[in-house]
Amino acid sequence: EIVVTQSPVTLSVSPGERATLSCRASESVKSNLAWYRQKPGQAPRLLIYTASTRATGIPARFSGSGSGTEFTLTISSLQSEDFAVYYCQQFNNWPHTFGPGTKLEI
Amino acid sequence: QVQLQELGPGLVEPSETLSLTCTVSDGSINSYYWSWIRQPPGKGLEWIGYIYYTGTANYNPSLKNRVTISVDTSKNQFSLKLRSVTAADTAMYFCARGVNYVDYWGQGTLVTVSS
């Protein structure tokens, strides 16, 4: 099973600032990685798939990059709705696995 | 747009079988993969398994001996059965569309395993 890790565990930022979240896989997943945002009490929402493709309806302030084992999610100008938990997930090998999450807080 | 809704008991006794159904509305279950994903309280996400509308399924090896996912295309539903549950199976259970990544999620249903 591929182990996915995320850093930092918590990131404290201010609205309007830029946030950079990291995700690492224990072996290469090529570009088979997705990012989700989960607000409290809600299901996750798909943000990015295949490492860098924005999902339908996702604003351009979200961008993803990376391949192999190292990935990054960048949020260029934080809005109030962006303060949530972010998960990355690999889909190169079954079982597909999620990282433990990064909490973005004010 | 596609909507998913989980239904099933919120409380299951230890050693019993957890059974959930997901109804897909405003879209057909045909031609897509459908998944079950769970999240223990305050913890991360675990992919339980997925099924194609034709009935072909695949399960997480960590749960493989206890889980069955089935589909009923006539009702636009798919279902999860998890046998011999313990407290470790207490979680929010989400039904979802997708096999690689999920583009549509149900709101989730909390299942507690307790006597």
Residues A12-70 have pLDDT tens digits of: 999 999 999 999 999 999 999 999 999 999 999 999 999 999 999 999 999 999 999 99
Cβ atoms < 10 Å from Cβ of A61: 15
Chain B, residues 60-79, CB within 8 A of chain A, namely 60-62
Instruction: Name the band, by pLDDT with cuts 50, 70 and 90, for residue A106.
Output: confident
Asked if B94's CB is within 8 angstroms of A43's CB, the reply is yes
**Which chain B residues are closer than 8 Å to A34 by Cβ?**
100-101
Distance (Å) from the C-alpha of residue B75 to the closest C-alpha of chain A?
A: 24
3-class SS shares of chain A: helix, strand, coil, % to 5: 5, 50, 50
Which residue type sits at A54?
R
Answer whether B62 sits within 8 Å of A95, measured CB to CB: yes
Residue B43: pLDDT band (50, 70, 90) is very high
CA-to-CA dists, residue B1 to A56, A67, A69, B8, angstroms: 12, 31, 34, 23
